């Protein structure tokens, strides 16, 4: 309850109902200059994790629509994603909650915690959480808003301190945003080396593995994923469904956003996803697109993941197995991802396949379909194709991974019947599926990807 109350207080302090998403709203009751003790810093951290909960859940919804991995049955506001006509109506919510989270974190970042009465562990825990969550939020913002021209393009505004209502900002170069994400996640690892906050050292190391993997820094992705696996602190469950228990207390789960008993209906970290993916033709509104690229890999009757996570009912294939209730922790990083990341990063870095890579692949195949385990070392291309298939089967409809992985590899995606069928090349869709900036942010700050 303390965390929920802290979140409410902090939200009232910093955010009114203003539509100016990047601007700090006038304060209520407690001015910023009075946030000078360690308890206030902790309240800001609790508040930031609170505003991040709706932020992280959006990728599992929006990206599935953009990839046409799903069919939308009865929610018209999701149609633009499927039609590749993404508007600000939906994405503004993700943008807003992301920058609200960053606004709270930056209040911590600018304060001198060393001058506050606290233990060294308390200071490190708060600063570790600040860096961890800022890296997490900017990583997702950059994935969906940044120009595909990484070397020369622009992303979202890069804010490292609070801004006032009269301040104006502009978009930052994608390379600068990437550098800040990597700086933050390494700072989190340093702060968490001997203490834990809401997150901890292994959560930060696993997120670093994900960040470096998608930034194509495969040597670092391998090192971080290997560190998590080698720590022995986590275990691959024998049952594919075991990590997806409502309160997320599986030894396979490295980090989750927690469900709180005080959450009202529909506001838990996974509530929106449960609502969309539930096995109910009337109330759920997403089902798997059997013609999509994900379905072509996932629909394997011999694979326990298909039989466990998907429910076939007449013409529908419901994507309900990973989100069994609206009262769930939101599972953010699992050990399974680390095995997939370690294997592929090692292959990409060395342009060869080792026995360890084969063992990593077989670790997940053994529980999903023992008959599919590899009995010899494949070629590099064979191994990469296997990992693309296995990553899709393992992580589909979590965190937007299939979209991000398709984007990383610059693969084609499907067209729909009205487009004549077939596929659309990466060159065609890389700009098409960029999220637009909210209209109010364009009006106020003049945001553009071509400053």
What CATH number should be reported for the domain holding residue 243? 1.25.40.390
Q: What is the 3-state secondary structure (H, E, C) of 202-266?
A: HHHHHHHHHHHHHCCCHHHHHHHHHHHHHCCCCCCCCCCCHHHCCCCCCCCEEEEECCCCCCCCC
Give yes or no: residues 215 and 100 share one domain.
Answer: no
pLDDT > 90: what percent of the chain?
A: 75
Q: What is the domain count for the chain?
A: 2
Q: How far apart are CA 144 and CA 142, in angstroms?
A: 6
pLDDT reading at 25 higher than 60: no
Residue 92 covered by a domain: yes
pLDDT in tens, 383-435: 999 999 999 999 999 989 999 999 999 999 998 888 888 999 999 999 988 99
Residues 114 and 252 in one domain: no
Whether 338 is covered by a domain: the verdict is yes
DSSP reduced 3-state for 171: coil
- What pLDDT, on the 0 to 100 scale, is given for residue 261? 83
- Alpha carbons 386 and 324: distance in angstroms, whole number: 29
Distance of CA 35 to the CA centre of its chain: 30
Helix and strand numbers, DSSP H then E, in the chain: 18, 8
Question: Is residue 414 situated within a structural domain?
Answer: no
CA 53, 54, 60, 63 torsion-angle sign: negative
Radius of gyration of the chain from Cα atoms? 21
At 27 the three-state DSSP class reads coil
Read off the tokens for 48: 């930031």
Q: Verify that 254 and 128 share a domain, yes or no.
A: no
The answer to whether position 449 is within a domain reads no
CA angle, 390 as apex, 385 and 393 as ends, to 5°? 130
Distance CA 155, CA 137 (A): 13
378 and 313 both lie in a single domain: yes
215, 220, 221, 225: CA torsion to nearest 10: -160
Q: At what angle do helices 38-57 and 2-14 cross, to 10 degrees?
A: 90
Euclidean distance between CA atoms 253 and 352, whole angstroms: 30
17 in a structural domain: yes
Rounded to an integer, the average pLDDT of 348-366 is: 98
Is 420 within a domain? no
Structural domain including 122 reads 1-174
Please tell me whether residues 151 and 252 are part of one structural domain. Answer: no
CA dist., res. 300 & res. 40, Å (int): 51
pLDDT confidence of residue 60: 83
**95 pLDDT above the threshold of 70:** yes
Bridge partners for 70 per DSSP = 288
With 50 as the cut, is the pLDDT of residue 1 above it?
Answer: no
Q: 18 vs 375, which has greater pLDDT? A: 375
Over residues 130-148, the mean pLDDT reads 97
Same domain, residue pair 18 and 165: yes
Q: How large is the average pLDDT for residues 232-243?
A: 97
Distance from C-alpha of 27 to C-alpha of 159, rounded to nearest angstrom: 19
Instruction: Please check whether residue 184 lies inside any domain of the structure.
Output: no
Are 84 and 231 contained in the same domain?
Answer: no
Residue 404 lies in a domain: no
47 pLDDT tier (thresholds 50, 70, 90): very high
d(CA 58, CA 422): 28
Q: Are residues 164 and 209 in the same domain?
A: no
| Confidence (pLDDT) at 451 | 75
Same domain (yes/no): 240, 332: yes
Confidence category of residue 31, pLDDT binned at 50, 70, 90? low
For residues 207-215, average pLDDT: 98
Average pLDDT across the chain, whole number: 90
Q: Does residue 256 sit in the same domain as residue 147?
A: no
| Average confidence (pLDDT) over 323-348 | 96
Q: To the nearest whole percent, how much of the chain has pLDDT over 70?
A: 92
Q: Which pLDDT does position 156 carry in this prediction?
A: 97
pLDDT of 222 over the 80 cut: yes
The last residue of a domain, from among 355, 373, 399: 399
24, 60, 303 from 165: Cα distances, Å: 6, 32, 54
The answer to which of 57-71, 167-181, 258-272, 429-443 has the lowest mean pLDDT is 258-272
């Amino acid at each position: 309850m303390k965390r929920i109350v802290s979140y409410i207080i902090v939200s009232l302090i910093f955010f009114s109902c203003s539509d100016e998403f990047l601007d700090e709203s006038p304060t209520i009751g407690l001015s910023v200059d009075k946030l000078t003790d360690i308890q206030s810093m902790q309240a800001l951290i609790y508040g930031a994790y609170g505003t991040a909960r709706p932020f992280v859940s959006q990728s599992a919804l929006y990206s599935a629509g953009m990839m046409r991995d799903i069919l939308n049955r009865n929610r018209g506001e999701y149609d633009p994603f499927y039609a590749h006509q993404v508007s600000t109506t939906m994405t503004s919510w993700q943008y807003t909650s992301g920058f609200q989270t960053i606004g709270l974190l930056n209040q911590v970042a600018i304060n001198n915690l060393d001058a506050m009465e606290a233990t060294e562990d308390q200071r490190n825990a708060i600063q570790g959480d600040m860096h961890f969550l800022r890296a997490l939020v900017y990583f997702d913002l950059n994935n969906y808003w940044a120009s595909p021209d990484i070397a020369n393009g622009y992303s979202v505004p890069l804010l490292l301190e609070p801004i006032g209502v009269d301040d104006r900002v502009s978009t930052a170069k994608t390379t600068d945003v990437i550098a800040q994400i990597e700086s933050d996640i390494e700072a989190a690892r340093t702060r968490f080396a001997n203490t834990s906050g809401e997150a901890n050292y292994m959560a930060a190391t696993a997120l670093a593995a994900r960040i470096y993997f998608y930034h194509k820094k495969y040597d670092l992705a391998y090192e971080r994923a290997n560190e998590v696996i080698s720590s022995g602190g986590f275990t691959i469950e024998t049952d594919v469904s075991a990590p997806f228990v409502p309160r997320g207390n599986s030894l396979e789960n490295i980090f989750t956003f927690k469900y709180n008993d005080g959450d009202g209906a529909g506001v838990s970290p996974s509530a929106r996803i449960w609502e969309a993916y539930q096995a109910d033709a009337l109330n759920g509104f997403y089902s798997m697109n059997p013609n999509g690229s994900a379905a072509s890999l996932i629909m394997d009757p011999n694979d326990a993941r298909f039989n466990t996570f998907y429910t076939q009912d007449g013409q529908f294939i419901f994507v309900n197995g990973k989100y069994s209730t609206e009262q769930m922790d939101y599972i953010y990083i699992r050990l399974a991802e680390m095995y997939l990341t370690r294997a592929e990063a090692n292959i990409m870095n060395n342009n060869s396949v080792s026995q360890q890579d084969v063992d990593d692949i077989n670790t997940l195949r053994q529980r999903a379909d023992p008959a599919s385990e590899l009995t010899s070392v494949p070629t590099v291309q064979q191994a990469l194709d296997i990992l693309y298939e296995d990553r899709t089967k393992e992580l589909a409809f979590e965190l937007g991974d299939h979209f991000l992985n398709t984007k990383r590899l610059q693969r084609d995606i499907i067209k729909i019947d009205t487009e004549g069928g077939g596929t659309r090349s990466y060159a065609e869709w890389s700009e098409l599926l960029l999220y637009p900036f909210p209209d109010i942010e364009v009006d106020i700050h003049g945001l553009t990807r071509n400053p």
